[in-house]
Amino acid sequence: MKFTKMQAFGNDYVYIDAIHQNITNLPELARFVSDRHFAIGSDGMVLICPSDKGDFRMRMFNPDGSEGEMCGNALRSVGKYVYDHKLTDKTELVIETLGGMQHLNLTVTDGLVSNIRADIGEPRLNTKVIPVNTNLDQFVEQPVEVLDKTFHITAVSWGNPHCAMFVDSVADLDVERYGKTIEHMTSLFPNKTNVTFAEFVKRDYIKIREWERGTGETIGCGTGCSTAVVAGVLTGRTDRKVTVEQIGGPLLIEWDEKTNHLFMTGPSHTVFEAEIDASHVLEKLLLFTRELGICCQVVRQRLNFVNSSRNLISGLPCRMYGGFSWFEVVH
Amino acid (one-letter) located at 118? A
Determine if residue 67 is left, alpha or beta; phi over 0 gives left, psi from -120 to 50 gives alpha, anything else beta: beta
Catalytic residue among 71, 163, 225, 296: 71
Say if residues 252 and 42 touch (Cβ distance below 8 Å). Answer: no
Per DSSP, the residues of 124-138 read: B-BTTTTT--SS-SB
318 is catalytic: no
Q: Which amino acid is at 325?
A: S
Alpha helices in 154-278 (DSSP H): 175-183, 222-234
The H or E element spanning position 266 is strand 262-266
Cβ contacts of 321 within 8 Å, gap of 6 or more: 292, 329
Neighbours of 157 (CB within 10 A): 25
Which position among 49, 163, 221, 225 bears the catalytic label?
Answer: 221
Per DSSP bridges, beta strands 249-255 and 216-218 are unpaired
Distance CA 183, CA 188 (A): 10
Q: Is 295 a catalytic residue?
A: no
Q: Which residues are catalytic?
A: 71, 221
